[in-house]
Structure 1
Amino acid sequence: MHTPTQIREKLLEAAASQKPIVGAAIGCGLFARYAEAGGADLILVLNAGRFRLMGCGSTASLLPFGNSNRMVMDIGVQEVLRQVRHTPCLFGLCATDPEIELDSYLDEIKEAGFAGMTNFPTVGLIDGVYGEALHEAGISFDKEVEAVAQAVRKGLFAVAFVFSPEQARRMAAAGADVICAHLGFTQGGGTAAKGSLSMEEGIALSQSIFRAAAEASPDAFKLVYGGPVSSPEDADRIYRGTDAMGCIGGSSFERIPTETSIVRVTELFKRYEEVKSENKRLRQQLDLQAAIEQADYVRYVTSYVSLHLQEPVSFDALAKKLHLNRNYLSQLFTRKMGMSFSRWLIRHRIQTAKEWLRSEEGTIHGAAARVGYADASYFSRVFKKETGLTPSEWKERQERS
């Protein structure tokens, strides 16, 4: 297991090489494995990560949907610690849990194989009347400060989520190795919380937090989490505007990328033929433009025909588009392609029709329309003349092979 000294040395190395320190807040073994593969410096096991996997969003981590500490212990021991080989794993501790005796529970965390802890879920995310009621009931941020102090004394690495300069000062004085400016739940994606801080507000709050922390502990590492930071570009803006040395990401590392990837891949499977056609058309348009710029007249003709294959094609009209004599263009075409334009056009149409017929939905009428034949019977006669088979016979032979 990593010691606090080893972890600090690792983070100092990252800072010395001018690389941001990255912590990945996750909720399952799979994400932990690939966060480590991507180079994460710290892995935080939080109950919010599990709720994100359920599609609930991180806000569910603050509601009574199960025992947070038991959830994190189960995820950590059964999944994360089995998958992660070289990266320190931190336990997301609900320090205000009335079912635990803090001192002995910290021992359990250490014995389980966790290198450290962080205060999550945190009452720092709860304000207003409810927040005041919790404080009056003794369920306050004070217990989280106490948990960090005890964890440090027991040889655990401690990451402290804080929401104000005063909290930062207290956590730094308690010995927290990392002060992380928590800017609220992450913006972006399908289950994101609304109404988070703006980037400018996040920069101002982060810097005030870091200044306060430095007063009590100049050597504490300074990170940011959440709010407007949902991409590497956002993180870079925070780094340039504050003393932040890196970031911790939850939604930005697993929920948002997973949402977009699953949607994109599912759509690709569902619309593959359509997407393939769109990509092919785009390439044809780019090729057509390049041919115009390079005065490559034959390439222009072939690109234009490919792009408008469903429409009637007139070689005379193409010559006029290029402001060329028809006979001169015909000679250029025959010399470069080794055949006349009319012969090439038939072959090109038949070859394109074959591509359509290979697909499950590729009907003869559909193939004819796609390559510019309004009469499917005439298309069939041309197809047989070129291939020796009718479109139906050709398609059956392809299905058998």
Structure 2
Amino acid sequence: MIDFRNRLEESRTGTPLLMVVPGSGLIAKCAVESEADALMVLNAGIYRSMGSGTLAAFMPYGNANDQTLELLKEQMLPRSGDLPIIAGVFGVDPTRPIRDRLRELQDLGVIGVVNWPAIGFIDGKFRKHLEKEGLGTEVESEMLAVARELGFVTFGFSLSVEEVQRFVATGVDGLILDVGLTRSSDDFRAKRDDVHRAISQLNKLSAAADTRPECVRVAFGGPITAPTELSEVFRHSSIHGFAGGSVFERLPVQDIVNTTLRRFKGVASSARAGGAKTFGGMVGHSPAMRQVFDIINRVGHQDVTVCVEGETGTGKELVAAMLHRLSSRANHPLVTLNCGAIPSSLLESELFGHERGAFTGAERQRPGKFELAHGGVLFLDEIADLSPHGQVALLRVLQQNEVVRVGGDTTIPVDVRIVTASNRPLSAMVDAGDFRADLYYRLSTITIRLPALRERLEDIPLLVEAFLANLRMQLNRPIAGISSRFEKKLRQHAWPGNVRELEHVLNRCAILEDGTHLEGWSFEPQPHLRSSADASDLPLPSKQEQAERALQDADGNVTRAAAALNVTRKTFYRWLDRGKAEPPSSS
């Protein structure tokens, strides 16, 4: 019990908490093997393991407290080892006094309690009838108060601000903040929008508990089904952990389940590691990075436009995320659009949305990025690749603060803070006539320049340790560090891909080598490689020669050729002399 309370305290300032909601002994066993922090046993697990959804737990198929007790005795306790267990308890039980129920759980070794099934899932007339019969959140609070009196660690399962406030007033140790049923999507854009909405909901619920900062906040469920999404949630919110059931149980093969849990654990372990030498996921202690951190701190609270300039792989998206988190808009969405990845013909639909039937394939109404970001921050990545037509459209919205969906005629007011990123200096593009001056001045009240890795080589040891901490968990093997010879080679490299390239190098070496210290025998430094920013300063004939050579090396594949030069396809085409090197249309 004391150890788990210490773990809760640690989650607020150090490594976030990871709890698994198992529906079977197999998943409980996997959680133990993968070093999860706790099991949360809910009767929903019974229905999930039977192939039904979590909502079946709210149907009158039996006594929820009896079902949880049976799941504990038959499946969880025999396989949980020393892992702490939090059990779901329904606040009203017609068969036994709640105090007796809680004592029975205590005798079994359960150390924590959460209100489940949670009344917050139910609304409408049914909810009113339940509250009329004394089955509202008040009875849940009373149950948690009794559990706290008996010495349990208590969690309030919350779906609304009102519930958070009630449970905080009860004095619970933690909050389980629900962001919806676990769901997956093959539509990448829709999935990313779902994650942003979940983050917004988490920040809204979390803010309601600010009166008790010692209360631990744990995200539950929702669209968080991959480590990258969990990492994004940790970056953009102030939650202290994650709890999931379906996300782990949906995978049938034990090895895959173990791997998924380890990767989640790795993200949680590295999300806030490093103390004063990390800032919003950025790592560094060099003068250049300390200056960047200082500017972000100064600008984050100001509602002004910011342009983040830096080479590929320097962490521009991390800066945007931190600006959002520090701003007064932190409880509203951060929405991202990569301007270089959107064809000009679809740009207005992406930015402003479209009505059903606006064009072929528009089968439903869809809000644009400005609407999704209303009240929050819109991050426009690769803004330098925005077409002239797109620049005009964006300028119009910034001037009028309203959008009209494609195919519609209704103006929709929007309140959005704009943060942009570019791997080329926009001021130079304005001078060259490639970017509108009036748009540039609206987008760059403040410009933050991120240093290239070759400009801050003293940060390499810190970056290496941050990446190795993640690799230890992902690969489930001890990696103590790197050899001095390998570090010397890292300092000799030109790093055209910057921090992202360093991460890939370490990942590759960790996979190819078996020792506890990486030797980097597969890595050879190239001190004279040009970065994409350096290459953009070359005279046009040199650009043309590079493009032609890269196209030949890539067997005519434009996408691979552009990637080899660290430039976008649009820039690559501009470098080509079409009369001498016509790219194949199939690329």
TM-score normalised to structure 2 length: 0.41
Q: Deviations over 1:65-114 (max 9, x none)?
A: 22211111111123211211221111111113333311221111111211
Structure 1 match to 2:166: 170
The one of 109, 123, 137 aligned to 1:127 = 123
Distance 1:152-1:254 versus aligned 2 partners, 3 A rule: same
Displacement after TM superposition at 1:139 (Å):
1.3
User: Within 5 Å, which residues of 2 pair with 1:1-400?
Assistant: 3=1, 5-14=2-11, 16=13, 18-188=14-184, 198-215=194-211, 217-256=212-251
**Corresponding residue SS for 2:176:** strand
RMSD: 2.8
- SS of structure 1 residue aligned to 2:113: strand
Change (3 A) 1:189 1:104: farther
Q: Deviations over 1:324-343 (max 9, x none)?
A: xxxxxxxxxxxxxxxxxxxx
Taking a change above 3 Å as real, the CA distance of residues 293 and 204 of structure 1, as seen in their structure-2 partners, is: closer
Contact 2:147 2:154 in 1 (8 A): yes
1:168-198 deviations in whole A, cap 9, x for unaligned? 12112212111121112111289xxxx9x93
Q: Structure 2: which amino acid aligns with 1:31? A: I
Report SS of the residue matched to 1:230.
Answer: coil
Corresponding residue number in structure 2 for 1:307: none
Note the residue ranges of structure 1 that are not aligned, 5 or more in a row. Answer: 263-291, 295-401
CA distance in 2, matches of 1:258, 1:36: 16
Question: C-alpha distance in 1, partners of 2:256/2:81?
Answer: 26
Q: Please name the residue that 1:312 is paired with.
A: none
Opposite residue 251 of structure 1, the aligned amino acid is S
SS in 2 for 1:214: coil
Q: Residues 260 and 31 (structure 1 numbering): CA distance in 2 closer, same or farther, change over 3 Å?
A: closer
Deviation string 1:48-73 (CA, Å, 9 cap, x unpaired) is: 11101100111111111222111111
Separation in 1, partners of 2:69, 2:46 = 12
Q: Which amino acid aligns with 2:210?
A: A
Distance 2:7 2:240 in 1: 13
Residue pair 1:134, 1:140 contacting (<8 A) in 2 also: yes
Letter matched to residue 137 of structure 1 = E
CA-to-aligned-CA distance 1:112-164 (integer Å, 9 cap, x gap)? 21111111111110112211221122111111111111111110111211011
In 2, Cα distance between equivalents of 1:258 and 1:135? 42
Tell me if structure 2 keeps the 8 A contact 1:11–1:41: no
| C-alpha distance in 1 between matches for 2:231 and 2:76 | 29
Compute the TM-score of the two structures, normalised by the length of structure 1: 0.59
2:23 and 2:249 in contact (8 A); partners too: no
1:96·1:140 contact (CA, 8 Å) conserved in 2?
no
1:259 shift after superposition? 11
Task: Tell me the distance in 2 between the aligned counterparts of 1:179 and 1:218.
Answer: 11
Give the 3 Å change call, closer, same or farther, for CA 189–151 of structure 1 in structure 2: farther
Which structure dedicates a bigger proportion of its chain to helix? 1
- Structure 2 match to 1:324: none
- Give the 3 Å change call, closer, same or farther, for CA 77–106 of structure 1 in structure 2: same
The 1:238–1:74 alpha-carbon spacing in structure 2 relative to 1, beyond 3 Å, is: same
Task: In structure 2, give the amino acid aligned to 1:199.
Answer: V
Contact 1:176-1:220 within 8 A present in 2 as well: yes
Is contact 2:11–2:240 with CA below 8 Å preserved after alignment? no
- Paired position in structure 2 for 1:308: none
Give unpaired runs (5+ residues) of structure 2.
Answer: 258-551, 555-587
**Structure 1 residue 257 displacement after superposition:** 5.8
1:361-400 deviations in Å (ceiling 9; x for gaps) = xxxxxxxxxxxxxxxxxxxxxxxxxxxxxxxxxxxxxxxx
**Structure showing greater Rg:** 1
- Aligned-pair identity in percent equals 29
Q: Per-residue CA shift, 1:239-264, capped at 9, x if unaligned?
A: 122111111101112125669979xx
- Corresponding letter in the other structure for 2:207: R
Residue 21 and residue 252 in structure 1: after superposition, are their counterparts in 2 closer, same or farther (change >3 A)? Answer: same
CA distance in 2, matches of 1:259, 1:210: 34
Once the two structures are TM-superposed, the CA of residue 13 in structure 1 deviates from its matched residue by 3.5
- One-letter amino acid matched to 1:244: I
Specify the SS of the correspondent of 1:130.
Answer: helix
Alignment CA distance shift 1:258-1:50 (3 Å) = farther
